Amino acid sequence: MLSPDALASSSAAHPVVRVLAVEGRALVQDLGRVGLAHLGVSGSGAFDRAAHRLANRLVGNPEHAAALEVLLGGVRLALPAGCWLAVTGAWGPVTLEGERLEPHTAVRTSLPCELALGPATHGVRYTVAVRGGLAVAETLGSRSRDTLAALGPAPLAAGDELPIGPEPDDLVPPADRLPVDPPTTGLVELDVRPGPRLEWLTAGARDLLLGVVWQASARSDRTGVRLEGPRLDLARHGELASEGMLRGSIQISPDGAPTVLGPDHPVTGGYPVALVVTEASLDRLAQLRPGQPVRLHLVAGRP
C-alpha cells in the first residue's frame, strides 16, 4: 500500500513518478548526446536502445523520450493514476500493485499504485517508460546520465520525484503487447568487424580473440564490458597516441584482456582497438549477466 504522502504527490496537477526504494542502480536515460566530442563529451544514452525504443513506442512516446534504466531490479516506484507504462529489456518478477505485469505490455494505472521490479532472471537491465516521458532537466541537450563523466540526472535515490512530461501527440498503439523473446541466459554471439589496431595483436592472439568462448566479467558497467578468458599478447608494444573511441570498440588492456566499450566510454583512449562490435549486436552487450558466455563472430566483407 502507498503512504498518504505518496498518494498526495501522485495525484497532484503535475504528475510525478516517486521513487520509493532503490537497492541497485536506476538511471534516467534517453538516446544520448551527439556532436559534443570536441568538448570531450561522449554519447551515453540507453544501453539497450532497442528496449528503450520499444518501451517508448508501447506507450505512444517518441523513441527518444527519457525512461528509466534499472540494473538488476530492487526498485519500487509510486505511479500516479491514469499513467500508461511499459517495462522492456530484462525479464524478472515485475508487479503492479502486487499483480504480475507482463513484459512488453502497455498498461494504464486506474489508481495511484506501486510498480516493483524484482531481481532480473533474464538479462540485467530493465527499461521502464511512462507515457509523456520523464521531464527531468536536460544537460547539454539530453536527459541521459553519463556515469563516467557524471553528467545528467544523478542516479535515483528513495524519495526522488521525477516529473512526467505532457501527453505526446501519438495515441497508445492498439497493439499494446509485442511478442519479444527474453534476453538469452546462454551463449551470446556478437558480430564484430576489424578495428584500427587489429594488427597490434599476434596472430595467435587474433585466433584466440575470435576462437574462444569468453565470459562476461562481473567488473562490467556502462563504461565497458570486460571479457574474461585467455591473456592476449600484443605483437607491438609502445604507447598508442590517444584516439577516438566508439561504443562497441574492443580495447585490449595492458593486462591482455579485451574490454568492449559501452555507452559511457571515454571519448578518446590510448589502448589499441582490435575489433568493433557491429551496430546490430550492440544492444546485446547491455543484457550480459556476470559469467555469461560470449563468442565474437567476425563478419567478412565490406560493411
* Number of Cβ within a 10 Å radius of residue 1: 9
Closest approach of another protein to the CB of residue 105, in Å? 29
Shortest spacing between CB 262 and another protein, in angstroms: 15
Q: Which is nearer to another protein, 27 or 276 (CB)?
A: 276
What is the closest distance, in whole angstroms, from the C-beta atom of residue 267 to another protein in the complex?
Answer: 5
In sign, the C-alpha dihedral spanning 64, 70, 71, 72 is negative
227, 215 contact by CB (below 8 A): yes
- Cα four-point dihedral sign 264, 268, 271, 276: positive
Nearest approach in angstroms of CB 132 to another protein is 25
Report, in Å, the least distance between residue 181 CB and another protein.
Answer: 24
Residue closer to another protein, measured from CB, 139 or 215? 139
Minimum Å distance from CB 272 to another protein?
A: 11
Bridge partner list, 48: none
- Contact criterion met (CB below 8 Å) for 116 and 56: no
Q: Whole-angstrom Cα distance, residue 212 to residue 44? A: 30
> Which of 158, 280 has the CB closer to another protein?
280
Cβ contact 245:237 at 8 Å = no
Residues of this chain that interact with another protein (CB under 8 A) are 34-35, 37-41, 139-140, 148-151, 192-198, 239, 241-246, 248-249, 266-270, 273, 275-279, 299, 302-303
Report, in Å, the least distance between residue 29 CB and another protein.
Answer: 17
**Residues 199, 205, 209, 210: what is their CA dihedral angle, to the nearest 10 degrees?**
80
CB-wise, 159 or 270, nearer to another protein?
A: 270
Cell 558480430 belongs to residue: 191
| Beta-strand relationship, 293-298 and 188-194 | parallel
In order of 166, 198, 296, 302, the CA distances from 201 in angstroms are 52, 6, 16, 22
Q: Which is nearer to another protein, 59 or 277 (CB)?
A: 277
Nearer to another protein, 100 or 237 (CB): 237
Tell me whether residue 137 or residue 175 sits nearer to another protein (CB atom).
137
The whole-angstrom separation of Cα 231 and Cα 257 is: 6
